[in-house]
Amino acid sequence: ITTKAKAEGAALVMKSVSCFGCLFLTRCRWFVTIISMTMVGGYPEKGAPIEANFAVTAFGISQLVYALVFTTIMYRKGRSSIGGIHWPMTIESMNNPYSDKGAKNK
């Protein structure tokens, strides 16, 4: 199995776990109260608003977990390979119609 497939698989599993965990926590009243007090500016005496819904935030956090796991695995594999990661020094294209060089050559 290639490294990319392993990274995709591990990242998908972690995304699912984090999404489930975040969605579970957003259903807990105490957690929503803490989030609303610290992030949204709620008041401790009122508690969390009834209409508070952080489901979109849960999916966003799980997507960040996916990106972090995938990038970490791919980066570690690249660093451990012979010669390490080779970053390009410059990328020049003569056929770029949006560059100043391309406009001058026409």
The predicted model gives 16-39 an average pLDDT of 80
pLDDT at 3 over 70: yes
In the chain, the percentage of residues whose pLDDT exceeds 70 is: 66
Collapsed DSSP state (helix, strand, coil) of residue 96: coil
pLDDT for res 102: 46
Cβ atoms of residues 59 and 16 within 8 Å: no
pLDDT at 65 over 90: yes
The predicted model gives 79-105 an average pLDDT of 68
7-17 as b/e: b if 16+ CB within 10 A: bbeebeebbee
Chain centroid to CA 103: 38
